[in-house]
């Protein structure tokens, strides 16, 4: 990753910083050794940073290169999301780098496609998870049990009153 940054920016300090970033904390090194998902996510994040820097310093921007960068961004962001969904805010970086609405829409739809494709391949019980999520949305009981009502007006009004009286923080 550091090599790619150095080739694009000609700044050795940025390249060394990016290359040595994983080794800055002993806690990070120990944690990455025990959790495989974090190691895969770190690789994808550093790859995303290298692609971002390379894209920002691109001198001759052509349609083919833009499509190549979009594809690389889509794959890396989809992999990061499939590894850890809480990394969703990282998608703002490529989203802001692209100039046209068409590129941004392609990026978002492509990343979601890669995410769902990898999620289906990684999780053999994806249908059970999907059913659980749908039942939680549709049914009014705890953990997807109870009547099939989207919103129970009786409990919704009492909950709103409780929120406004007990938990008003703004």
- pLDDT tens for each residue of 88-124: 888 888 888 888 899 999 999 999 999 888 888 877 7
Same domain, 57 and 134: no
Q: How far, in Å, CA of 18 to CA of 5, rounded?
A: 8
How confident is the model at residue 162, as a pLDDT?
80
Same domain, 70 and 117: yes
Is the pLDDT confidence value at 66 over 80? yes
Of 85, 105, 122, the one marking the end of a domain is 122
For the four alpha carbons of 22, 25, 26 and 27, in that order, the dihedral sign comes to negative
Same domain, 92 and 36: yes
Helix (H, G, I), strand (E, B) or coil at 130: helix
The tens digit of pLDDT for each residue in 1-39 reads 677 777 777 776 777 666 666 555 555 556 555 656 666
- Residue 106, judged by CB atoms within 10 A of its CB (0-12, 13-18, 19+), counts as middle
Q: How far, in Å, CA of 81 to CA of 89, rounded?
A: 10
Same domain, 118 and 166: no
Is the pLDDT confidence value at 58 over 80? yes
Same domain, 80 and 6: yes
Of 106, 122, 138, the one marking the end of a domain is 122
Of 122, 142, 158, the one marking the end of a domain is 122
Same domain, 23 and 96: yes
Same domain, 107 and 160: no
Same domain, 17 and 96: yes
How confident is the model at residue 158, as a pLDDT?
78
Domain total for the chain? 2
Same domain, 117 and 131: no
- Residue 41, judged by CB atoms within 10 A of its CB (0-12, 13-18, 19+), counts as buried
Q: How far, in Å, CA of 64 to CA of 15, rounded?
A: 26
Same domain, 34 and 94: yes
Instruction: Give the percent of the chain with pLDDT over 70.
Output: 68
Comparing 146 with 113, which gets the higher pLDDT?
Answer: 113
Q: How far, in Å, CA of 75 to CA of 107, rounded?
A: 9
Q: Which pTM was predicted?
A: 0.57
Q: Which domain holds residue 143?
A: 126-170
Same domain, 113 and 131: no
Is the pLDDT confidence value at 71 over 80? yes
- For the segment 49-53, the average pLDDT, to the nearest whole number, is 85
Same domain, 96 and 111: yes
């Amino acid at each position: 990753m550091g090599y790619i940054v150095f080739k694009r920016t000609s700044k050795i300090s940025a390249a060394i910083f990016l290359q040595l970033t994983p080794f800055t904390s002993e806690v990070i090194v120990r944690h990455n050794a025990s959790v495989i998902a974090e190691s895969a996510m770190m690789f994808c994040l550093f790859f995303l940073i290298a692609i971002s820097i390379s894209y920002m310093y691109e001198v001759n921007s052509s349609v083919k290169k833009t499509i190549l960068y979009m594809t690389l961004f889509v794959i890396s962001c989809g992999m990061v999301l499939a590894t850890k969904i809480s990394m969703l805010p990282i998608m703002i970086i490529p989203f802001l780098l692209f100039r046209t609405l068409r590129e941004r829409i392609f990026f978002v739809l492509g990343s979601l496609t890669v995410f769902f494709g990898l999620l289906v391949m990684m999780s053999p019980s994806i249908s059970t998870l999907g059913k659980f999520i749908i039942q939680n949305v549709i049914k009014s009981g705890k953990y997807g049990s109870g009547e099939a009502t989207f919103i129970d007006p009786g409990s919704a009004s009492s909950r709103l009153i409780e929120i406004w009286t007990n938990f008003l923080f703004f």
